[in-house]
A = this chain, B = another copy of it.
Amino acid sequence: MIRVLLAEDQAMVRGALTALLNLEPDIEVLGSAADGETAWRELQRLKPDVLVTDIEMPGLTGLELAQRIRRHELPMKVIIVTTFARPGFLRRALDAGVGGYLLKDAPAEGLAEALRTVHRGGRAIDPQLALEAWSDADPLNDRERQVLRLAGEGHSASDIGTQLNLSHGTVRNYLSEAIGKLGAANRIEAYRLARQKGWL
Q: Binary interface profile of A, 29-69, with partner B (CB < 8 Å = 1, else 0)?
A: 00000000000000000000000000000000000000000
Known contacts A184-B154, A185-B154, A189-B154; A83 and B16 CB within 8 A of each other: no
A residues 1-45 with Cβ under 8 Å of B? Answer: 9-20, 23
List, in ascending order, chain B residues with CB within 8 A of A17's CB.
12, 16
A156 within 8 A of partner (CB): yes
Contact B10 A20 (CB under 8 A): no
In the bound complex, CA of A77 to CA of B10 (Å): 24
In the bound complex, CA of A105 to CA of B10 (Å): 4
Known contacts A19-B19, A19-B20, A23-B19; A12 and B188 CB within 8 A of each other: no
Cβ-closest chain B residue relative to A11: B107
Min CB–CB distance A22 → chain B (angstroms):
9
Cβ-closest chain B residue relative to A189: B154
A residues 83-133 with Cβ under 8 Å of B? Answer: 83, 102-111
- The oligomer's copy count stands at 2
**Known contacts A12-B106, A12-B110, A187-B188; can you find 17 more A-B pairs with CB under 8 A?**
A10-B105, A11-B105, A12-B104, A12-B111, A13-B108, A15-B108, A16-B16, A16-B17, A16-B108, A18-B108, A19-B19, A20-B20, A151-B188, A153-B192, A154-B185, A154-B188, A154-B189
A178 within 8 A of partner (CB): no
* Residue total for A at the interface (Cβ-Cβ under 8 A): 38
List, in ascending order, chain B residues with CB within 8 A of A104's CB.
10-13
Contact A11 B186 (CB under 8 A): no
Min CB–CB distance A2 → chain B (angstroms):
17
A198 within 8 A of partner (CB): no
Complex partner residue of A106 from B11, B83, B103, CB under 8 angstroms: B11
Q: Binary interface profile of A, 162-200, with partner B (CB < 8 Å = 1, else 0)?
A: 000000000000000000000011111110100000000
